[in-house]
Amino acid sequence: MAMTIHVDIVSAEGAIHSGQATMVYASAEVGEVGIAPRHTAFISRLKPGDVRVENEQGEQEHFYVSGGMLEVQPNVVTVLADTAVRAANLDEAAAQDAKRRAEEALAGQQAGFEYAKAQAELAEAIAQLRAIEKLRKTKRG
């Protein structure tokens, strides 16, 4: 029986794959790496790309990861997959977005208040018009 290594692919939102493999390929930050059983301890960031897991029957399973971390110990390979596409500028954009939303929401408080005020004024105007119409009718009648 061929030597195998345990592979876990997990993401923050759930486990993706778990099982034995004879070889694992992943696209690490500096290039593609192949992990065989008894590989020395190794840790790296992953680039978006394929993670291929070759099982004992020689079949390959493909998993797409949009980045993450690869951790290797002699008997275990762990892929900590990102569920989102990550990049420094994308993260920065997301942060800016979150800030802007907070500012808008707190500014929106003012806008909401004024909207309510406008509605109240409108309702008052309509009520006045109706009252005038009624007055006219009663005068005529």
Give the span between the Cα atoms of 136 and 30, in whole angstroms: 86
CB of 117 to other proteins, least distance (A): 16
Range 24-53, binding other proteins (CB under 8 A): 28-30, 40-45
CB of 113 to other proteins, least distance (A): 10
Beta partners for 35?
24
Give the span between the Cα atoms of 105 and 112, in whole angstroms: 10
Rule CB under 8 A: is residue 102 a binding residue for other proteins?
yes
Strands (E), 12-126: 14-21, 23-28, 31-35, 42-54, 60-73, 76-81
**Residue 28: what residue type?**
A
> Considering beta carbons, is residue 100 or 134 the nearer one to other proteins?
100
User: Which residue in the block uniquely carries the two structure tokens 């005068």?
Assistant: 139
> Considering beta carbons, is residue 8 or 61 the nearer one to other proteins?
8
Give the span between the Cα atoms of 64 and 5, in whole angstroms: 20
Candidates 56-64, 77-85, 122-130, 131-139: pick the segment binding other proteins (CB under 8 A).
Answer: 77-85
Rule CB under 8 A: is residue 17 a binding residue for other proteins?
no
Interface contacts to other proteins, rule CB under 8 A = 8, 10-15, 28-30, 40-45, 69, 71, 78, 80, 82-86, 91-99, 101-102, 105-106, 109
